[in-house]
């Protein structure tokens, strides 16, 4: 019995020690505040704390999920863009959003982008109004979540009251800090319009929510805005809506007997009821008004201002396109019969782009870039890739996406890439990657008109070309008749190519040789074929 007593005593002491450790662990757990609501007061005790709420801290109990407000920031979309214009909102305060739902559409000087949500929750606040300039890295919308996000993304909530008997804030202080909510009076309708249409509406001070769209899915077209300006009347006046009991009308028109003016009025201190359609129509008729530059216009303003420091050397020459037109006709007939080609028809631009790439291989200085940062002597960066930009007249303004590595592509490949860029341009979906890295630019305004042009360089390139319309003109042609050279007048399709080069690094002889080789390649398509790789 004595031999068994010592092991039993050691086991009892071990069990007692383990019980004390478990007790201390439970005490530490019980001292953590597990409240479903903010405590009104915290009173220290000998062990743990007590939260003066309906829920007791000690022990385990069910809690409700704490809602958090996330400040959703405008992400960096690349290309050094620091600000974007809010084109339109797809949500308003109180709307429920899910991940990947569209929040708003923004336009930079590079492209138009739709911003989507990364969270599930309820929209609490919009930080910007339509046509406002939003800064990259700053919040654009607050979203209330059902789950707690990271601390870096959580907006700072108001300070919690620490005592139940705290005195309320003075009414004057509350009135001095109204919440900034720009869209409390928005409708549930989403405006579908291109940036060009929105620009026209701003120029005429028209609120697009009052314009009836005749395009696909109710999209507002340019014609709709022009027709609206000519009538000078609100659709609410032309087509009064039927009021449904219990339903609210647009912009609180139920509380007003007069229809709301569809023209955007300047805030001059006058009340909204004093703004009549007559005065708005008078403003549209010819009074001066200020309009801010769009993001694309601001980019043009900046780049063209920089171009003023570049001395331009200009060169113009005529190109006969008759042989190229016959070759193009044969290729298009083959593509149409083939059926499975990436494109069914070639325009002149793929030939213009490929000829430029072949000529640049002979004169690489025209594909270079001037490097002059002020800290070291000026130098030239010779670029291997022929990323040839094509100026496009998009709904949002002038954009210059480029065909990447044109020196490695066939005519059909270039035509497919060009067709894809044109489609994206019409949809306002040109991305930053499409605009980045251009080394040489071509502009074709012949479908609009004009013959002789003077294109302007951008600071990242040393040469640019532009083409006007193709004209059928009389030209002399030498033929051999009975062994005798005879000159006669024949019709020819003439295209004028206008070139501009940076005269700081490109001399006139180099520009002339390049233009002459370019002319030979287009006038003799077989030479272009012979030089392709």
Mean pLDDT of the chain: 75
User: What Rg do the C-alpha atoms of the chain give, in angstroms?
Assistant: 35
Identify the pLDDT of residue 239: 41
**Residues 287, 279: contact at Cβ < 8 Å?**
no
Q: What is the mean pLDDT of residues 14-31?
A: 58
**Tokens encoding 223:** 């014609």
Q: 26 vs 144, which has greater pLDDT?
A: 144
Q: 26 vs 410, which has greater pLDDT?
A: 410
Q: Hey, which of 39-48, 237-246, 478-487, 491-500 has the most confident mean pLDDT?
A: 491-500
The pTM of this model reads 0.53
pLDDT tens track for 407-447? 999 999 999 999 999 998 888 788 888 889 999 999 998 88
Question: What positions carry a catalytic annotation?
Answer: 503, 507
The share of the chain scoring above pLDDT 90, in percent, equals 32
Is the pLDDT confidence value at 50 over 70?
no
pLDDT tens track for 154-176? 444 444 333 333 344 444 443 44
The share of the chain scoring above pLDDT 70, in percent, equals 66
Identify the pLDDT of residue 168: 42
pLDDT tens track for 341-350? 888 899 999 9
| Strand, coil or helix: 487 | strand
Identify the pLDDT of residue 313: 93
Is the pLDDT confidence value at 390 over 60?
yes
Q: What is the mean pLDDT of residues 301-317?
A: 90
Identify the pLDDT of residue 229: 78
Residue 461's closest CA among 411, 388, 393?
A: 388
């Amino acid at each position: 019995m004595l031999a068994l007593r010592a092991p039993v005593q050691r086991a009892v002491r071990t069990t007692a020690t383990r019980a004390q450790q478990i007790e201390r662990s439970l005490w530490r757990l019980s001292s953590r505040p597990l409240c479903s609501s903010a405590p009104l007061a915290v009173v220290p005790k000998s062990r743990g704390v007590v939260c003066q709420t309906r829920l007791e801290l000690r022990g385990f109990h069910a809690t409700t999920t704490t809602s958090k407000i996330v400040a959703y920031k405008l992400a960096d979309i690349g290309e050094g863009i620091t600000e974007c214009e809010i084109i339109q909102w797809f949500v308003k305060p109180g709307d429920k959003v899910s991940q990947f739902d569209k929040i708003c559409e923004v336009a930079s000087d590079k492209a138009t982008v739709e911003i989507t949500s990364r969270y599930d929750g309820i929209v609490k606040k919009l930080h910007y109004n339509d046509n406002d300039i939003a800064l990259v890295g700053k919040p654009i919308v607050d979203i209330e979540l059902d789950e707690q996000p990271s601390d870096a993304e959580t907006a700072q909530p108001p300070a919690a009251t620490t005592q139940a008997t705290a005195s309320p804030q003075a009414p004057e202080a509350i009135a001095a800090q109204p919440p900034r909510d720009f869209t409390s009076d928005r409708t549930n309708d989403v405006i579908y319009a291109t940036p060009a249409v929105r620009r026209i509406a701003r120029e005429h001070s028209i609120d697009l929510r009052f314009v009836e769209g005749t395009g696909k899915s109710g999209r507002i077209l340019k014609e709709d805005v022009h027709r609206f300006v000519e009538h000078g009347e609100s659709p609410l006046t032309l087509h009064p809506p039927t009021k449904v009991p219990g339903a609210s009308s647009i912009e609180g028109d139920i509380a007003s007997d007069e229809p709301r003016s569809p023209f955007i009025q300047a805030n001059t201190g006058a009340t909204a009821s004093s703004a009549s359609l007559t005065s708005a129509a008078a403003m549209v008729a010819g009074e001066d008004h200020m309009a801010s530059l769009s993001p694309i216009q601001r980019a043009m303003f900046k780049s063209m201002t920089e171009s003023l420091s570049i001395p331009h050397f200009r060169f113009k020459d005529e190109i006969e396109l008759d042989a190229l037109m016959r070759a193009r006709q044969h290729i298009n007939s083959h593509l149409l019969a083939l059926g499975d080609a990436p494109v069914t028809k070639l325009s002149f631009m793929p030939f213009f782009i490929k000829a430029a790439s072949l000529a640049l291989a002979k004169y690489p200085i025209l594909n270079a870039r001037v490097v002059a940062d002020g800290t070291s002597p000026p130098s030239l960066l010779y670029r291997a890739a022929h990323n040839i930009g094509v100026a496009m007249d998009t709904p949002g303004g002038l954009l210059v996406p480029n065909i990447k590595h044109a020196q490695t592509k066939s005519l059909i490949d270039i035509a497919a890439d060009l067709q894809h860029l044109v489609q994206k341009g019409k949809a306002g979906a040109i991305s930053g990657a499409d605009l980045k890295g251009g080394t040489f630019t071509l502009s074709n305004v012949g479908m609009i008109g004009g013959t002789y042009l003077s294109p302007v360089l951008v600071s990242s390139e040393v040469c640019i070309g532009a083409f006007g319309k193709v004209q059928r003109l009389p030209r002399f042609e030498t033929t051999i008749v009975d062994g005798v050279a005879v000159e006669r007048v024949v019709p020819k399709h003439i295209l004028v190519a206008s070139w501009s080069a940076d005269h700081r690094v490109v001399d006139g002889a180099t520009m002339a040789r390049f233009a002459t080789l370019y002319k030979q390649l287009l006038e003799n398509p077989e030479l272009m074929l012979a030089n392709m790789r």
